A and B are shown apart, each in its own frame.
Chain A
């Protein structure tokens, strides 16, 4: 029970900043690139995937990160809140309902390809930088 309480506190702390960071970044991207395609959510999700890969690589080194609190704060809390599936789903549906099937399909395909590549890249760079080897 003590562990769960600690986890909740770390997650709350990380997510208090993760959600607003997403709101800021997606708004910034939306204002600069326009709102006809959900680039804001895309940028948020891809950048979050890259960082989570880096942290996952760092987490494989014993004693590098104070576990599990660092994971709860940075991954479950901050990055978990920073990235979003709900906005992605809503925006994809809005494009499809608008008859813009190419954009809807493109959003799904591009999000999956870029996010999965970003997490692999982040993990690879992290593993290489830390000298783990088998990246």
Chain B
């Protein structure tokens, strides 16, 4: 064994220990990041969903059960907010938001606030009750207003992004 090989073999053990330590560290960082992301989504989701439930209750109290105004309202507002926020915190955005903040607001709050399943159920229930016009109207109005509001939110944020100053 040459002098060089001897020197290398002596270093092998500490290098291996350091490598293993680094791998543990990387795994732990990955785990902690996942945990924090899921926590951010969960807390945001609770906030959005409780707000949605209250909005639906309020709409039911104000307008009665004839038309699902509550769900329509939350889906329109949620689409607007996600369009605005995604653009204002995007690559050319004037507001910086980190990964956790973006997941908290978009995946958590907006995702929890809006709902496709309850929308589908309401449309189906109207259809099932024989109210075909109401079902069709609800689906048609929903899809148009959702897409219009996400575009509106995005356009407003793009305009703000293009304004001078910081």
User: In chain A, what residue has the closest Cβ to B108?
Assistant: A19
Are A118's CB and B154's CB within 8 A? no
Chain A residue numbers with a CB within 8 Å of B115 are 79-81, 83-85
Are B124's CB and A89's CB within 8 A? no
Are A112's CB and B139's CB within 8 A? yes
User: In chain A, what residue has the closest Cβ to B148?
Assistant: A89
* CB within 8 Å for A77 and B49 given contacts A4-B57, A22-B111, A93-B83: yes
A30 to chain B, nearest CB (A): 12
Chain A residue numbers with a CB within 8 Å of B69 are none
Are A108's CB and B116's CB within 8 A? no
Chain B residue numbers with a CB within 8 Å of A92 are 147, 150
Are B49's CB and A11's CB within 8 A? yes
Chain B residue numbers with a CB within 8 Å of A116 are 120, 123-124, 139
User: Count of B residues near A, CB < 8 Å?
Assistant: 50
Are B49's CB and A90's CB within 8 A? no
Docked complex: A13-27 residues within 8 A CB-CB of B: 14-20, 22-24
A58 to chain B, nearest CB (A): 13
- A-B interface pairs (CB < 8 A), number: 175
A17 to chain B, nearest CB (A): 8
Question: In terms of DSSP, what is the predominant structure of the interface of chain B?
Answer: helix
Chain B residue numbers with a CB within 8 Å of A18 are 45, 49, 112
**0/1 string, B105-132, CB within 8 A of A gives 1:** 0111011111111111101110010000
**CA separation between A77 and B115, bound complex, in Å?**
10
A5 to chain B, nearest CB (A): 11
Are A80's CB and B120's CB within 8 A? no
**CA separation between A8 and B46, bound complex, in Å?**
10
* CB within 8 Å for A90 and B150 given contacts A19-B45, A53-B124, A116-B123: yes
Docked complex: A81-135 residues within 8 A CB-CB of B: 81-90, 92-93, 108, 111-112, 115-116, 118-120, 123
B151 interfacial contact with A, CB 8 Å? yes
Chain B residue numbers with a CB within 8 Å of A77 are 49, 53
**CA separation between A8 and B47, bound complex, in Å?**
10
Are A53's CB and B121's CB within 8 A? yes
Chain B residue numbers with a CB within 8 Å of A76 are 49, 52-53, 56, 118
Q: Which 8 A-B pairs have the closest CB atoms?
A: A19-B45, A15-B49, A85-B114, A89-B150, A86-B110, A48-B117, A83-B117, A89-B79
Binding site for A on B (CB under 8 A): 37-38, 41-42, 44-46, 48-50, 52-54, 56-57, 75, 78-79, 81-83, 86, 103, 106-108, 110-121, 123-125, 128, 139, 143, 146-147, 149-151, 154
